[in-house]
Amino acid sequence: MNRTAARGSLRSMLLLAAVAITLSTALHVVPQLLRNWIDPAWSMLLLMIVDACVVAIFIRSRSAVLIGLALGALLGAVVLSHQQLLAALPSIVLNLVLASVFATTLRSGETPLIVRVAELDNSAVLSVDFLRYLRSLTQAWTLFFITMAALSLLLAVYAPFEWWSLFVNVLMWPLIGLMFAAEWIVRRIGFPSLPPHTPLYIAARIVAYQRRLVPAEPDSSAR
């Protein structure tokens, strides 16, 4: 990855992270502020639907439209059943999907996801030991997202809704940051000869890899 591309990916990653953290925090804060007038689970899902609609409008994403429709159906189910537990489904499903993205690359004959990301940097020296480490790191991220899904389910079932919301919408981000920081420390200790890339640089490479995988959606206005 050249410097220009790296800087562009870093800026994109920082912008995406800032937007995601802001919106996610709002999903916890706003429903708690409105809890005297509307069920927090309802208002949280309403905000998620609004977010999906905004994304669909501004980037013309069909996926966002489908997500918005699914969230609308889920909101209807929560309202009719009066079960806040159902509002935890998006979080659980998202974490399981992320876990599967990492896990499917661990199958025999597949290249682990973190190895694919590392290969974007042509200057990286992928020794046998480092490749083994990257495979273990892919396993660690798989376990992380499975754990997050399990904790989300447990909190949704046994804890007050506001505790679950705080964990899923706010505390999840520091935990992800800790994973990046821990990986950086382990890599610096175990592989000191490698370039001292920061966690932000690594996250930027992940954004660059994701861009390679996801093609732009067709512009319907061009037809």
pLDDT tens-place values along the chain, 223 residues long: 445 555 555 666 677 778 888 888 998 999 999 999 999 999 999 999 988 888 777 777 778 888 888 989 999 999 998 888 899 999 999 999 999 999 999 998 888 888 888 777 655 567 788 888 889 999 999 999 999 999 999 999 999 999 999 999 999 999 999 998 898 888 888 877 766 565 556 666 666 666 555 444 444 444 4
Domain count, the chain: 1
Answer whether residue 201 is part of any domain: yes
Domain assignment present for residue 221? The answer is no
DSSP the chain: --HHHHHHHHHHHHHHHHHHHHHHHHHHHHHHHTTTTS-HHHHHHHHHHHHHHHHHHHH--HHHHHHHHHHHHHHHHHHHHT-GGGGGHHHHHHHHHHHHHHHGGGSTTPPPHHHHHHTT-TT----HHHHHHHHHHHHHHHHHHHHHHHHHHHHHHHS-HHHHHHIIIIIHHHHHHHHHHHHHHHHHHH-TTS----HHHHHHHHHHHHHHHSPPPP-GGG-
Domain that holds residue 164: 3-215
Domain-embedded: residue 190: yes
| Residue 115 belongs to some domain of the structure | yes
Q: Is residue 155 part of a domain?
A: yes
pTM of the model: 0.82
Does 74 reside within a domain?
yes
